[in-house]
Amino acid sequence: MIMKYAMKSTLKAASGLMIVWALLLPINAQAAPMVLLPDFSVLAEENSPVVVNISTTKKVSRSQQQFQGIPDEMLRYFFGLPGGKGGHGQMPRDEAPKEEVSSLGSGFIISEDGYIVTNNHVIDGADDIVVRMRNRQELKAKVVGADARTDIALLKVEATGLPIAKIGSSAALKVGQWVVAIGEPFGLDYTVTHGIVSALGRSLPDDTYVPFIQTDVSINPGNSGGPLFDMNGEVVGVNSQIYSKSGGSMGLSFSIPIDLAMHVVEQIKSNGKVSRGFLGVQVQEVTADLAKSFGMSKPSGALVAETVKGSAAEKAGIQSGDVILEFNGRKINKSSDLPPVVGTSPLDKKLPILILRNGEEKSLKVKLQSIGDDEMADNGESVLESNALNAELGEVDAEVLKRANIPFGVRVVRLAEGAAQQAGMMPGDIIVTINFQPVKSVDELTKILKNAPKGRSIPVRVVRDKRSLFLPLVLK
């Protein structure tokens, strides 16, 4: 009986606690208000009229069309996927029958009288371009100008009173912000997708002049050239590329910052072409080990691996081994920050540049040249050993040095496990300097290694595959 009573009392007490807890729950829930996802309907309705569909046609040989659309890269443009090459016995391209191929893309209107921004790859090589408005009106477009380096093109249609996009600023974007894309994926007109900014200033292969906005917005073929909006309905980017294994969206989308895009557009409108600054340096990332070897507290800046002969950099006194910390008042946190800053800097005046050299900061002035194509080195011939590096080394032929535009160097022939391999050296590398001391022969390299500090990173400059770079070498 006592046991039964005790059990009842315990159950009553527990029930009472549960009731009190249940009563408290709504109060606590009210203390943390529910956060709702944003409503994109007004933004979509107001901004859809400024987005246009762009269809192009071009005449290609039947052999080209046969392989059109077969991807050979993971990082691909949304439209005009790279085609393959035909096999042996194929009819020469200029003799093969010509057929018309159509493609789709997107764009947005920036003026009432018919200027339209899109991607260069959307209209590249097109024979005819037709722009379709939100009201289904179709207009022939002509190319005012295009810039392949930034993948921006400016079109013009004959019209008046067109709705225009509100141009924002990509400089104000922050990681985590909501963004919206409107475009024509797979020809499905005025499709609206949304996501967040995943990263800023993203550098992609072969696109060093564009600090891309990375988002997880669903982007697919046909969105290319369309606008990326912020929540104020302002254009902050031009959708350009995706990273995909399948050709469809994988949540890795890349947009050209609108500040850069409009800089290009204004030059095209004013001059019919784009001029951009050329400093004349090859740069690489400052790793943690290299930062230590340069006496830096943390990795930062762009490490100059080589200066181009006769370039603005050489004339300004910039040297291999310098770390560029600031350019024209803008901080350089990583090597990929430098090209877009240089590319959009003025050409007609001397600009300040802050470098780190031998552990000390130094200010220089540089007057940029107009950009040109840079070229570099080749590999050479063999034969000798260095036990300090645990590598077989060899002298380099004078002709190879000339083509590489370097006065001296020693070639890495073979590597065994050891300091050189751990530093990242590879067969074929030409060692130019060790700890900023010139390596003119294998004998000289041996002497330098003998006197070099042990147990800490020292910088080694090598030339590899037509590029110059620094590696952190730790000798025991």
Q: How far is CA 254 from CA 182, 266, 333, 366, 472, in A?
A: 14, 22, 21, 32, 32
Catalytic residue among 55, 61, 63, 121: 121
Say whether 320 is catalytic: no
Torsion of CA 275, 257, 247, 179, to 10 degrees: -160
Say whether 263 is catalytic: no
* Longest CA pairwise span in the chain (Å): 108
Determine whether 393 is exposed, middle or buried from the number of CB atoms within 10 Å of its CB (0-12, 13-18, 19+). Answer: buried
Catalytic residue among 224, 244, 253, 468: 224
88 is in an annotated binding site: no
Name the strand (E) or helix (H) holding 84. none
Say whether 121 is catalytic: yes
What sign results for the dihedral spanned by CA atoms 249, 252, 258, 260? Answer: negative
224 is in an annotated binding site: yes
Catalytic residue among 63, 103, 147, 151: 151
Q: How far apart are CA 6 and CA 27, in angstroms?
A: 32
75, 82 Cβ separation under 8 angstroms: no
Q: How far apart are CA 227 and CA 170, in angstroms?
A: 12
28 is in an annotated binding site: no
Q: For 31-35, which contacts have Cβ atoms below 8 Å and span 24 or more sequence positions?
A: none
Q: How far apart are CA 359 and CA 365, in angstroms?
A: 19
222 is in an annotated binding site: yes
CA 443 and chain centroid, separation: 42
CA 264 and chain centroid, separation: 17
Active site (catalytic) residues: 121, 151, 224
Q: Which residues are annotated as a binding site for substrate?
A: 121, 151, 222-224
Q: Which residues are annotated as a binding site?
A: 121, 151, 222-224
